[in-house]
Structure 1
Amino acid sequence: MVRPRKPLITRDSIIAASIEMIDGDGIDSFSLPRVAKQLNVSTSSLYHHFSDRRELMAEVAKEIMRGARVPAAPADGDWMEWFVQLSLNYREAILRHANAALILVELLPRDVLTSTYEKCARILSDCGVAPALHVIILDGLEKLSFATILSSLANASAADGDIFPNVDAERHPVLSTALSSNPWSATELFEVTIRSFLSGVMAGSAHPAAHE
């Protein structure tokens, strides 16, 4: 049998098919045999490109995170707004593939973000932020962003829906009042949360006790 000059599938085509399947049917319906069937190849063909399901899922996670646009460096030195926009871009990238969010939790692709973290640290340095604060800003933003996004997904409010679902005015009067007084959508709350974290880090750094 003559081998085809061009491979029937590539790593990129397998990753793309996997993301499409997860987006459409959810992670619970995902399987290598289903991906192979969609690509019209045998399941064994996938193992020429990936050693197992976990390796493929790790690449899916990386591809999703690569979909977030990194803004141009701030020309005016406003590094906080730059980080807010970066966080919003990652939020958007994850929400585009909401069914794959749990993959990101399990296989958080920090290695694919290393160059982005380098750019972040350089921007902080160029804007005069002390190196001692870089890690808490980068690590804290990552954790805070993921926790906020996944919380929204868990409450079925990835879009601008209910902040706290199933709140009853009679049983939860104080919380109901707080919700009715809240002027922000879910997206706006995310922005406020990111800004508050960054402002808190900078405010805390001004007090010597914060370092003890």
Structure 2
Amino acid sequence: MPRPSTPILSRDRIRAAALEIIDRDGLPGLSMRRLAAGLGVQAPSLYSHFATKDELLDDVCDQIMATVDVSDFERADWQTGIRTWARSYRAALAAHPNIVPFLAGGPARRDSALRVADAVHGGLVRAGWPPKFATMIGASTKYLVLGAAIGSFSRGFEDDARVYNDRYPNLSQAHRLAEHADEIDQGSFELALDSFLHGLAARLADLPS
């Protein structure tokens, strides 16, 4: 059979191409026209698979959230559940930081995100947290993860010691941060997560039974 003159499209192929553009050029770099050109088709061809750009972005976010691990809320204690969730959530977002501003808007109707939220909330309530606290813990963990995934604290410093000499005496070693960025950022995330969990454990112990 002769090969089709127009490339065959699928939701998976469109989503993968869109994420490639976002990873490379950021959210502003994605348009349906540009996406279509990269796929070798006309923009109207995309709309038979995704009615709007936002629908496409929702699907991209849903794919990313599908990799987040909340299984320990079923098979372990609530602190292990949060730790596993937070680490895998951060890893998923850190792999695609340019999508974070759109994803941060909330789960909307994304199935994977709602499944994560349902597992987290259910696991916390079963562990003895009142529903209101379970909701706030879920939100607080999200804040911690989004902040860690959206950028690097350490890479924000110049590696030229002269920038800090004399004027900023308390930052005399700041020029070394970028060199050790991965180690510092990972350690900082774990420190924040440990402190968060220790504080929550104390709060749970103080709740009226």
TM-score bracket, shorter-length normalisation: 0.7 to 0.9
- Matched to 2:59, the amino acid is E
* 1:197 aligned partner: 196
CA drift of 1:145 comes to: 1.5
Does 1:185 find its partner at 2:184? Answer: yes
- Which residue in 2 is equivalent to 1:101? 100
Please state how far the C-alpha of 1:47 moved relative to its aligned partner.
1.6
- AA aligned to 2:196 is F
With over 3 angstroms needed to count, the CA separation of the structure-2 counterparts of 1:97 and 1:81, relative to structure 1, is: same
Other-structure match for 2:164 = 168
**3-state SS of paired residue (2:144):** helix
Q: Which runs of 4+ in 1 moved over 6 A?
A: 177-180
Deviation at 1:53, TM superposition (A): 2.0
Change (3 A) 1:126 1:14: same
| CA spacing shift, 1:188–1:179, aligned 2, 3 Å | farther
Are the counterparts in 2 of residues 169 and 176 from structure 1 also a CA contact under 8 Å? Answer: yes
User: Please, what TM-score do these two structures have when normalized by structure 2?
Assistant: 0.74
Q: 1:64 to 1:110 in 2, by over 3 A?
A: same
Q: Which stretches in structure 1 are left out of the alignment for 5+ residues?
A: none
Provide, for residues 170-190 of structure 1, a one-character-per-residue CA deviation record: whole Å limited to 9, x for no partner.
33333557998xxx6211211
Instruction: Say whether the 8 Å CA contact 2:68–2:116 is kept in structure 1.
Output: no
Superposed displacement of residue 141, structure 1 = 0.9
Using a 3 Å threshold, how does the CA distance of structure 1 residues 178 and 131 change in structure 2: closer, same or farther?
farther
Measured after TM superposition, the shift of residue 43 of structure 1 is: 0.7
Q: Map 1:22-33 onto structure 2 (within 5 A).
A: 22-33=22-33
Q: Does 1:114 align with 2:106?
A: no
Shift of residue 55, structure 1, vs aligned partner = 2.2
The CA distance in 1 between the partners of 2:175 and 2:85, in whole Å, is 27
CA change 1:124–1:188 in 2 (3 A) is same
Residue range with higher mean Cα deviation, 18-27 or 169-178: 169-178
Q: What's the counterpart of residue 16 of structure 2? A: 16
Counterpart amino acid of 1:174? Answer: N
Cα offset, 1:163, TM superposition: 6.2
Unpaired stretches in structure 2, ≥5 consecutive residues: 177-182
Whether 1:147 and 2:147 are equivalent positions in the alignment is yes
SS of 1:9's partner is coil
Offset at residue 10 of structure 1 (A): 2.2
CA–CA separation in structure 1 for the residues paired with 2:203 and 2:172: 32
Preserved CA contact (<8 Å) 1:33 1:43: yes
Greater alpha carbon shift after TM alignment, 116-125 vs 187-196: 116-125
Taking structure 1 as the reference length, what is the TM-score of the superposition? 0.73
Query: Cα distance, 1:30 vs. partner?
Result: 2.0
Residue 41 (structure 1) shift: 1.7
Q: Given that residues 17 and 39 in structure 1 are in contact (C-alpha distance below 8 angstroms), is that contact kept between their aligned partners in structure 2?
A: yes
Map 1:63-78 onto structure 2 (within 5 A).
63-73=63-73, 75-77=75-77
Q: Within 2, Cα distance between the matches of 1:114 and 1:193?
A: 25
Residue of structure 2 equivalent to 1:37? 37
- Matched-pair contact (CA < 8 Å) for 1:32–1:43: yes
Distance 1:132 1:29, change over 3 A: closer
Instruction: Kindly provide the CA deviation profile for residues 78-98 of structure 1, in whole angstroms up to 9, marking residues without a partner as x.
Output: x21321121111111111112
**What CA distance in whole angstroms lies between the structure 1 residues aligned with 2:203 and 2:187?**
24
Residue type of the alignment partner of 1:109: P
RMSD: 3.1
Paired residue total? 191
